[in-house]
Amino acid sequence: MTSRSGAAEGPPEGYVLLGRLGKTFGLKGALHFRSLGLPESEALFELEEVFVTGLGVLAIAEVKPHGASLLVSFEGIRRVEEARPLVNAQVYAEPASLPPPAEGGQYADALRGLPVLVDGRPFGTVADLAGVAGAELLTVERPEGGEALIPLRAPYVQVARHEVLVEDPPPGLIDPNEQL
């Protein structure tokens, strides 16, 4: 099990987080892939190699759907015993190797740090993305402290180039007693 970049712990500067490897599957070293979102899942099919924390760059041997998730196999990893150390490792891609996301999509890693506006007023900053592909939740850090969760795929949420816009959210999503 070798990589071109050695056993580097973190990815090179600017690499885009796609998701995390889950449990092993089968005896040939495949692993479940838990993407940050639909664009990341779709990109994995197009990539030839990825950066895996703790190992460095690994060539992708195969990506295939498995129920509602994906299975990924890497070159040089042929047995479940070789794959087990990769469980929970983060998977990154070089930005230049990523295909453009489908219309209306955006890589989740690109959302981090974007300001969030609710009905045109500043609300917070995207800190993280949680959930599963297709049902992602934005974790928004509030300037006065605390966090809020906002469903990314909701009809009242729009991701613009430099901000996330929330227009007319349903009652209870944002505390009606708060001053924005």
The mean pLDDT values, 10 residues at a time, for the chain of 180 residues are 52 87 93 87 94 94 91 95 94 90 73 91 88 75 90 86 88 61
CA proximity to 126, closest of 154, 166, 167: 166
Q: At which residue do the structure tokens 């994995």 appear?
A: 44
This prediction has a pTM of: 0.68
Q: DSSP secondary-structure letter at 87?
A: T
Query: Residue 167 is encoded by which pair of tokens?
Result: 């227009």
CA dihedral 32, 33, 34, 37 (to 10 degrees): -140
